[in-house]
Structure 1
């Protein structure tokens, strides 16, 4: 990491972004952002993008305010390419000097820490002020950004950003950007075609989305097939049951489920009681018996990671890997599921030789003491990289701790 990174009071999320930027090979003195879409391609990308339907609304509710305060409003796609950049002619000329123009890409792996790139990397709103930018050329600017998602599928569509001077560094800026993004999502939902009317209650197209990675208690989103979503946080035991049933679409007998659920024999009557309570939470129609199974199609964060690994898309898999499956569970079936996925991700990382992806693992709570990964990262990082000192320091720490 650059010596500049040692300045006091750097926020943890910014420090992590600096590490990702350095690991990706971005240099502090690097110039303009790369242009990844030339004008003819840019025009076609904008016309085909879902955010084109709400850009006029965003320009009306946010763009005018931004122009009045000498800033620019930008709308990027999910890859970090700026599709629209709006502002006064003078402000646009100033932004052009740092390459903040339509068609440029502001993924932090290409241009270092910035609000649109940080929002894409973390999936959360981001504020990056002057000296928090990784590249020195951008440090006279501040920016605030938030993701925009498809309201029906939750798919990331892009990022809304406001970039300007010191006047932006107030809480009202992020509130304004956040409100505009939510307004855009509401408008996208309003424009969506209505789902076809079901023929009966059992053909409504109900779907379950399970989030298990990094969560001690599963988050379950029930989509009723009519664009209405309900969200439930399950107890740890119910989380384990749902995860095991989701991992076995054909279903499990009571005895099979008990073996995967309990560390010791017994618990059959307790399991029946737990299943009855779970059925009360999910609904009779979603949890069947003989064998026990989930009756709705299931999507899950760990399933997405498995699919991305199978497809060879390690970058997407690492972005989706929010931590081990139900990390505190000791249920034998969950332990096996957790270890299998973690081992698959880890081996893919070791084979990849990609420093920034390895860095994402070693920065995490579950990977910070992974000696073999630190060694692989040292081999992959050039001797001249500012990341080399960090990697060597962590290996020295582990050598001391491990004796």
Structure 2
């Protein structure tokens, strides 16, 4: 019997003991699961939970979910998750903050099987309604949760596995819904919850960039944030209420340096950060003048500084590192975009700092999924220490363990480390 099968058997026995009134021995079931079982029993949840008790009419439901915040980012979720797992025997569900399933996407066969347990659009899968389940528990605890087979409270659901994490409004911090993966073995894999968390981090960043208030009061108060993206594709500046503007590399470098130095930069200091050569004050002033003509009067002088709030994908990566969302940070950094291509000393230094901060955080976290993401990235491709740590962290027999061992041998031969 494998470790996974033994765990399922142990939890199933604990579940049967719990239903018969016997408290399972300590350590046989996770505390968050047992606590949820207790709440489920106290609420009278049965094996046939009524997930349609608060059903909407078809027209009301269609209007409700079309206006939901998650509708704005559903294409992003599809591209990050569904396209890669279309044949993995899982469904991806988006819920509102109460646990109502807004969308359930996946291959037709798996959606058909899910429909047999009423895991369909419009139904309520809160912990209160269904008992222990990943989306309901994630919303209740405000944290990512993975529930395996017999950890579910309602026995008809115990053939399924699920992993879910809540999505927050990036401005208020309020929970607005959850992203869930439900299915067979793929949803029980150790990396399923990490994948969901990574997508949630990307979704919250996208929601932050979309959170533009165009009311007159907001415009007058200067509370609107412009957006600078430099890590993927061409550098873009997007000011509130204006079309996206593709930037030249030099103008993107200037905006990014001023963004990273909010107290401002003198002409000479900006010149030093832009070039190792003697760029000259006249050249810098000419570039600033051209930049103002292109993106508007967003720069103040003496010292040069940005005049309004700005967000960027670079600071998003830093925020993800600080929040411990390391796999999402690796994905967001990607190859490095402008940071990797720029010869400007200030940009190169910022790139080195971000990579080192991310690498250090990955090693300190001891998160195997983050370590795998780092090793698979352009920055960890030849990182001997990362591949060595990954080889040690993966259990023997894991499909990636042999790959890690092979990469360690290759790097040894190539660099003699």
Is the structural similarity TM-score above 0.5? yes
What residue is the counterpart of 2:228 in the other structure? 210
Do the aligned partners of residues 155 and 26 (structure 1) sit closer, same or farther apart at CA in structure 2, a change above 3 Å counting?
A: farther
The aligned residue for residue 161 of structure 1 is none
Residue 73 to residue 229, structure 1, CA distance change in 2 (3 Å): farther
- Provide the residue aligned with 1:300 in structure 2: 312
**1:264: how far off?**
1.2
Partner deviation per Cα, 1:8-54 (whole Å, 9 max, x = no partner)? xxxxxxxxxxxxxxxxx999xx99xx9999988x99xxxxxxxxx98
Q: Is the 8 A contact 2:202 2:328 kept in 1?
A: no
Whether 2:334 is the aligned partner of 1:322: answer yes
Report the counterpart of residue 101 of structure 2 in structure 1. Answer: 84
Question: What RMSD in Å do the two structures reach over aligned CA positions?
Answer: 5.3
Kindly report which structure 2 residues correspond to 1:329-368, keeping only aligned pairs within 5 A, or say none: 329-368=342-381
Given candidates 163, 185, 207, the residue that maps to 1:155 is 207
Note if 1:243 corresponds to 2:261: no
Q: Give the secondary-structure state (helix, strand or coil) at the position aligned to 1:379.
A: helix
Aligned to 2:245: 232
Secondary structure in 2 matching 1:368: coil
Bigger relative CO (Cα 8 Å, ≥ 6 apart)? 1
Contact 1:216 1:236 in 2 (8 A): no
**1:11 aligns to what?**
none
After superposition, give the CA deviation of every residue in 1:382-403 in whole Å (9 maximum; x if it has no partner): 1232221121122233233325
TM-score by length of 2: 0.55
Specify which of 367, 383, 389 is matched with residue 376 of structure 1.
389
Which residue pairs with 1:219 in the alignment? Answer: 236
> How many residues are paired up?
293
Cα 1:384–1:109 change in 2 (3 A) is farther
2:279 is equivalent to residue 274 of structure 1: no
Residue 388 of structure 1: aligned partner:
401
Equivalent positions of 1:58-137 (< 5 A) are 75-77=93-95, 83-84=100-101, 94-95=113-114, 102=125, 104-105=133-134, 134=186
1:91, distance to aligned residue in structure 2 (A): 8.8
Contact 1:73 1:85 in 2 (8 A): no
SS in 1 for 2:245: strand
Asked if 2 retains the 8 angstrom alpha-carbon contact of 1:212 and 1:302, the reply is: yes
Q: 1:330 to 1:82 in 2, by over 3 A?
A: farther
Structure 2: gaps spanning 5 or more residues: 10-29, 50-58, 68-89, 127-132, 139-143, 149-160, 168-180, 190-198
Query: Which structure is larger by alpha-carbon Rg, 1 or 2?
Result: 2
Distance change >3 Å, CA 402–CA 83, structure 1 → 2: farther
**TM norm structure 1:** 0.56
